[in-house]
Amino acid sequence: MSADEDAPEPEAPAGGDDTGDVSALLFGKWSVDGIEYDDPSTQRYITVTPIAHTQGRHADKQFKKSQISIVERLINRLMQTDENTGKKEQATRIVRDAFDIVHERTDENPVQVLVHAVENAGPREETVRLKYGGISVPKAVDVAPQRRVDQALKFLAEGVQGASFKTATPAAEALADQLLGAANYDVQTYAVNQKEEKERVAAAAR
């Protein structure tokens, strides 16, 4: 028997990818192949790629943000606070650590969990203000799919900020809690709670 036959089979990387090509894995760990979408309306606006930093390639192009990986969009959202502005490496580390926590708790691909969380946290209806003779009247309107994704990421980032700022809870753990709660449609999760509140107000304004 040759030495090659004695050698053990290489283990498949975490996330279900058996190609062994680390360059095709998000953070070198998670496969982005075979991601399932439950909401067809937002599917085209939730892009999943193994690239977590495009260096602002689409920053000056309107609506090109939907071509950026949903993971990088989440990272960018986490930076939109006074404390984290411009700290891309720190935000990336928070997301990477949160993905590890999600995988430890559920044994699922955290990219898939993120996709479900964004789908569940995006409001389908909201209100706008219309003026009739100087009087503002709330009017319920449907939310565009692209805005639904934007709002979901906003709620997730706000939930992480509220749960981790000036508390003992690490930001990565707070993000993992938000992702798991939103993916399971837990109304106690900040993102889902905000979505339900917007839809409740819109229902009252019909």
Overall domain count for the chain? 1
Contact between 66 and 47 (Cβ < 8 Å): yes
Q: Which of 154, 146, 156 is nearest to 179 (CA)?
A: 156
Q: Cα separation of 138 and 205, whole Å?
A: 6
Mean pLDDT of the residues in the chain: 86
Contact between 193 and 187 (Cβ < 8 Å): yes
128 φψ region: left (φ > 0), alpha (ψ -120 to 50), beta (else): beta
Please compute the mean of the pLDDT values over residues 121-142 and round it to a whole number.
90
Q: Is the pLDDT of residue 188 over 60?
A: yes
Q: Cα separation of 56 and 61, whole Å?
A: 10
Q: Are strands 135-142 and 125-132 parallel, antiparallel or unpaired?
A: antiparallel
Q: Cα separation of 96 and 114, whole Å?
A: 12
CATH assignment of the domain containing 56: 1.10.455.10
The parent domain of residue 150 ranges over 3-204
Contact between 35 and 27 (Cβ < 8 Å): no
Q: Which stretch of 42-56, 86-100, 118-132 has the lowest confidence by average pLDDT? A: 42-56
Task: With H, G, I as helix, E, B as strand and everything else as coil, classify residue 177.
Answer: helix
Tokens in use for 7? 């050698």
Res. 187 pLDDT band, cuts 50 70 90: very high
Residue type, 205: A
Contact between 178 and 117 (Cβ < 8 Å): yes
pLDDT digits (tens, 9 = 90+) for 25-40: 888 888 888 899 999 9
Q: Supply the angle between the helices 190-204 and 110-121 in degrees, to the nearest 10.
A: 20
Q: Which of 125, 73, 106 is nearest to 181 (CA)?
A: 106
pLDDT at 6: 52
What phi and psi, each to the nearest 5 degrees, are found at residue 174? -65, -40
Please compute the mean of the pLDDT values over residues 190-196 and round it to a whole number.
95
Positive/negative CA dihedral, 147, 50, 93, 109: positive
- The residues that bridge with 127 in the sheet, in sequence order, are 140
More confident: 19 or 118 = 118
pLDDT digits (tens, 9 = 90+) for 101-121: 999 999 999 999 999 999 999
The winner for highest mean pLDDT among 2-6, 24-28, 85-89, 191-195 is: 191-195
